[in-house]
Structure 1
């Protein structure tokens, strides 16, 4: 495992490379020269001799170059040995945690889940597992995995019923599904394919073939995602198209000084809709909002799904005052739309934030950050309203509380350091608290807020076992308020199965690698926000 100084150096390299790639502008030669010089002087000091040799050779080349600027592509080519070395040294860090495919496996057999999870994660997949159908559905909607692996029996023969529910909602459409079966009769295979399965494997599985098939499905989904410009559920534009159109409006601003505005919309109390009426009805609300907006917006405006219940708008030749008035009118109309669920009828609203773009070089990321500030101001003032970003507007910070519950002081210290280094959006903050046993954690006033929580929970502790803590937590608290990662030194099928049944979102077996825990926590905290 890399020590903290080696890790810090690799982090710094990736941060600079990502910054150059994202800027898409000319890179001063002096900046590249200093970058190589800095790595050369530090690499051997922290024990990365191979990286020192690579940068020594590059330094000699840069020292004799007569050059003022670099294009990113030629800079990337020049640094390819450095990039390759960093990839080799950081198998579970920033780049992989960003691009790592997510796999959801639902199966009644905990021992198989453990075996498959361990194997697939050794092949660089992020794997979530569940033995419960309701938990599987929640996780599917929450994570939107790149592939779903489903046992046809699961529990009470509900496996194919889960596939049927996902297909009926439209959510499963582009997510590849593989069905596994201990009883691969012709009827079971045909039933699975009729309900939308893309693949079918008989147990016991050949793990190498299992991984190859999954990789094929994930690769194909990635190709589809790159080609599509439309969100598969709502039929609004997706983030890729939104990003492209923002670039066009930026170019118009630069050439013809045509100002434009960006709007961000977030459905109010959407979690309550899902909890009360179910995810299928929640999907109907998302589709209803998209349909209403596309029908009532002006020609030339762009409406896109940005993630979850958040949508974004691009409004060409529109000032912030005009945008506020336009979105306010759309809000009034949408609040009159009626949705139906079983015997009930209800309506919804959204909150909106607007920013006017006047800076030619303002990135989409910073524009969205400003619009988000206005959106959170609208939420703070009572929802169902639109606010405009003003330059000095205060950032509304949302807190995620992270609890580390473990009787080992060294483990608590290490995990606190890992959590403290995790990256979160500008409008989020992490609050870390440690507990040496389960009782003190459950009795703490720190646990009594309505904030979101991520709990890292040791499975074996004095006074109260981790499984008992998890059981009490799930019995006393809202299920959606907590994301739980179990730490266990016991590879007992019974304990892991019970943890999954009690609603654990992930587990790690001791001894663990800190980089692995870091990547897993990054996923879990993102889901908890």
Structure 2
């Protein structure tokens, strides 16, 4: 049944994309048949919610109409269906697990077992490197061996605790010594779980899964503003990044709005901060029930809120926020005296440039907000100026003596989607010696290197050893390509400081997913 669900969702998105690309008016009969088809098929394949959306739209339509739809009108009418399908079509991100253990052979076994069960696993045989990776990646779970040569693994936990950062990542300590005293020491040092070795791999997986699920629940709580229950800035930033990726991948522009309550200081001064808080909560509650499905409303700070509107033009965004303003002004708040109403001013911007960072977008929207305030408040203005931002390059190298592998990996890298203000600068090398002697390497930039284990002149392990001994530790993220039969080479690579590895023959989707993780760590 899953393949039929995916097929239906794919067909819907393809038809919507076709209408958008055709740049023509759409006959009403086409839209009517489209909605009718979804209504009839969605429930059949088990997509009941989608079926209900389509039925609600179908009830509003006249099957005998002969008029034409503009693309913007059709998109607005179908926005619930489109939003549902876009959300359903995106694959779930795999949780990231970091395992730190001096035994490379065990790391290889655990990594393979957990990745077959939908985790993304990073491993390290070096405690210092594991510490760097922990802060780089912020994993969903840390698995830490207690016994290290010359140092106790619990000192790692104490260093994390003393860093002053609040630890929300669950930590599992593993040890061959599972005596009561040892377990108590681990829990006192900050461990959330303890597992004695040798252990059953299925139990290992289940216990990690429980910790990951718990962290997911914590994260969801942390993404809400405590007072208003609107999303907070952190979540807003993450959704902005996803919309940027859609802009690059599908050329889907979006709009952002900033709204600021008018005369909010006077409200606090007149009615007190308790009533002021009620106004903030009232605005958030109103928005929660009146924004469009798929739009994201967040508290950005103080009395300032922000709104993300996918697949929305500047004109549509202005209309949407004006509608919200008009409705909000009808609400009544109650102080000590007579009921009073509140307004807000807003600025909107359509994001069309793939090189814009959030800070720049907010700055532009804020200029439009300033114009709205200056022009009398209780109004919405759209930003009309230029959208310019700095574009940052990330250097990626493929070092492999096989020309076909270099071509395949280059195609994967060229198609990768990055945040809109980032771009990849790609170079390929047929051996390790030419790579190390390249002028392209002589900069203080940060690099991601895909490095084949076996090459003429200088193999990948030699290249890795030179990089780690001669360059800054944080300048390079290295992914090794190795044979399934070369377990010793995998262990050696991990001991030399490889950040990840992929065994040949590999799947391109797997390489792409791992590269995405490494590239995020150098941005």
Fold shared by both chains (TM-score > 0.5): yes
**CA deviation map 1:352-389 (0-9, x unaligned):** xxxx9622x758999983524799xxxxxxxxxxxxx9
Alpha-carbon offset, residue 528 of structure 1: 1.4
Question: Cα offset for 1:444?
Answer: 1.1
Q: Is the 8 A contact 2:468 2:497 kept in 1?
A: yes
CA RMSD of aligned residues (A): 4.7
1:358 aligns with 2:358: no
Q: Give the distance between the partners of 2:360 and 2:445, measured in 1 at CA.
A: 19
Report the counterpart of residue 91 of structure 2 in structure 1.
95
- The question of whether the paired residues in 2 share the 8 Å contact of 1:406 and 1:458 is answered with yes
Deviation at 1:35, TM superposition (A): 10
What is the deviation of 1:185?
A: 1.8
2:418 maps to what in 1? 424
Shift of the 119–395 alpha-carbon distance from structure 1 to 2, 3 Å rule, reads same
Partner of 2:155: 161
Structure 1 pair 169–390 and aligned structure 2 pair: CA distance change class (3 A): farther
CA distance 1:364–1:257, shift in 2 (3 Å): farther
Q: Report how far residue 121 of structure 1 moved.
A: 0.7
For residues 98-109 of structure 1, what are the structure 2 equivalents within 5 Å? 99-109=93-103
1:143 Cα deviation from its structure 2 partner: 0.3
Residue-pair matches, total: 374
Matched, 1:149 2:143: yes
Q: Relative to 1, partners in 2 of residues 1:158 and 1:396: Cα closer, same or farther, differing over 3 Å?
A: same
Q: Quick one: distance in 2 between partners of 1:479 and 1:67?
A: 62
Q: Is the 8 A contact 1:133 1:158 kept in 2?
A: no
What is the rounded CA distance, in whole Å, between the counterparts of 1:473 and 1:12 in structure 2? 49
- What's the counterpart of residue 459 of structure 2? 465
Tell me which residue corresponds to 2:503.
509
Query: Aligned residue for 1:239?
Result: 234
| Pair 463,189 (structure 1): closer, same or farther in 2 beyond 3 Å | same
> CA shift at 1:147, angstroms?
0.3
- 2:359 is aligned, of 356, 360, 371, to 371
- Give 1:447 shift: 1.1
- For residues 217-256 of structure 1, the aligned pairs below 5 Å read 217-229=211-223, 239-240=234-235, 252=259
Q: Which runs of 5+ in 2 are unaligned?
A: 1-5, 21-27, 62-73, 227-231, 240-255, 265-279, 281-298, 306-344, 364-382
What is the SS of the residue equivalent to 1:480? coil
Q: Choose which of 201, 206, 212 in structure 2 pairs with 1:212.
A: 206
Cα gap change, 1:176/1:16 in structure 2, threshold over 3 Å: closer, same or farther? farther
Q: Is the 8 A contact 2:102 2:126 kept in 1?
A: yes
Q: Which string of whole-angstrom CA distances, capped at 9 and with x for unpartnered residues, describes residues 272-307 of structure 1? A: xxxxxxxxxxxxxxxxxxxxxxxxxxxx9xxxxxxx
Q: Could you tell me how far 1:238 is from its partner in structure 2?
A: 5.2
Does the CA-based 8 Å contact 2:479-2:501 persist in structure 1?
yes
How far the C-alpha of 1:449 sits from its partner, in A, is 2.3
* Counterparts of 1:32 and 1:455, CA distance in 2: 52
Give CA-to-partner distance per residue, 1:494-518, whole Å, 9 cap, x none. Answer: 3222212222111111111111111
Aligned runs of 1:113-124 on 2, under 5 Å? Answer: 113-124=107-118
1:448-491: per-residue Cα shift (whole Å, max 9, x none)? 12222110000111110100011111222222121110000154
The 8 Å contact of residues 13 and 82 in structure 2, kept in 1 or not, is answered as no
1:489 aligns with 2:483: yes
Distance 1:207 1:171 in 2: 31
SS at match of 1:117: helix
TM-score (structure 2 length as normaliser): 0.61
1:211 to 1:13, Cα distance in 2 relative to 1, 3 A: farther
Measured against aligned partners, the alpha-carbon deviations of 1:70-91 in whole angstroms (never above 9, x if no partner) come to 57666677x69x95xx6xxxxx
| Alpha-carbon distance in 2 for matches of 1:33, 1:478 | 61
Q: Do the aligned partners of residues 171 and 33 (structure 1) sit closer, same or farther apart at CA in structure 2, a change above 3 Å counting? A: farther
Question: Residues 478 and 498 of structure 2 are in contact (CA less than 8 Å); yes or no, is this contact kept in structure 1?
Answer: yes
Q: Is the 8 A contact 1:373 1:396 kept in 2?
A: no
Q: Which aligned runs of 4 or more in structure 1 are off by greater than 4 angstroms?
A: 9-17, 28-38, 61-77, 229-232, 241-244, 249-253, 256-259, 312-318, 361-368
Q: Deviations over 1:236-255 (max 9, x none)?
A: x75138899xxxx95856xx
TM-score of the aligned structures, taking structure 1 as reference length? 0.60
Residue 187 of structure 1 deviates from its aligned partner by 1.6
TM-aligned CA distance change 1:14 to 1:188, over 3 Å: farther
Specify which of 394, 418, 422 is matched with residue 400 of structure 1.
394
Residue 189 of structure 1 aligns to a residue whose secondary structure is helix
